[in-house]
A = this chain, B = another copy of it.
Amino acid sequence: MSQEENLQPEVNTEHQILVAARKVFTRKGYAAARMEDIAKEAGINRALLHYYFRSKDRLFEMVFDENIRKFYGSFIGILTADAPIDIRIRNLVSAEIDMLLHNQDLPLFVLNEITRNPELLSTRINLLPLREFKQVFVRVITEEAAKGNIRQINPLHVLLHLMSLCVFPFVGRPMFVAISGATPEQFEAIMEERKQLIAETLIQLIKPR
């Protein structure tokens, strides 16, 4: 029949395993993640895990690829949109923080795995889109500076400001929660507030002097 093939791709076992693996790997990191944890999370047993995916490394590879794409995925499009630079910055910050609010474990996972194993970036294709984003970013900042819309400034500083302000709160979240006593809801509210604050900070940073 014409509807034979997978009406609900979410409920086949292979996909369930991938979802479970992403959750476990992203939360605990490669070293601390146990195949048993993933099996339990997926509601199956270890034997079936290896039946679908040969090894822990293969599973991790897929999760890492997906996660690193997600990590910078939200950045790329907005930057080259047809809008004034400060609008683009507002949209960029907002999109990035929205993505991070939905994937709070993502940054620590990505930064961790890259630190422990830099070849994840250098040997794989993973680096290319990241490089491309950086080039687009540098070009945009340089062009806007040439037009006089913003001041002359090393684009890498702007990039570091952007990444720092958006990403760090999610990496430092447990420490922030410990010292501030914020609940998850309060943390989320603070990050919503920060969207504006961060955008204003960045606009202030690049404003002609």
Contacts and interface: CB of A to CB of B under 8 A. Distances in A.
A72 to B, nearest CB: 9
A132 to B, nearest CB: 10
B29 A111 contact: no
A172 B205 contact: no
A148 B193 CA distance: 23
A127 interface: yes
A205 B201 CA distance: 7
Given A156-B190, A171-B171, A114 B165 contact: no
Nearest to A175: B114
A108 interface: yes
A31 interface: yes
Interface in A148-190: 154, 156-157, 160-161, 163-165, 167-169, 171-176, 178-180, 190
Tell me if A's interface is mostly helix, strand, loop or mixed.
helix
A88 interface: no
Contacts of A28: 116
A115 to B, nearest CB: 5
A95 interface: no
A168 B176 CA distance: 14
Contacts of A131: 179
A114 B174 CA distance: 7
Given A157-B197, A172-B167, A201-B201, A178 B122 contact: yes
Interface of A: 28-29, 31-32, 108, 110-112, 114-116, 118, 121-122, 127, 130-131, 133-134, 154, 156-157, 160-161, 163-165, 167-169, 171-176, 178-180, 190, 193-194, 197, 201, 204-205
Which A-B residue pairs are the 10 nearest by beta carbons?
A164-B168, A31-B31, A168-B168, A134-B179, A164-B164, A121-B178, A114-B174, A31-B32, A115-B174, A164-B165
Given A118-B174, A121-B175, 10 more contacts: A108-B112, A130-B178, A131-B179, A160-B169, A161-B197, A163-B176, A164-B164, A167-B168, A171-B171, A204-B204
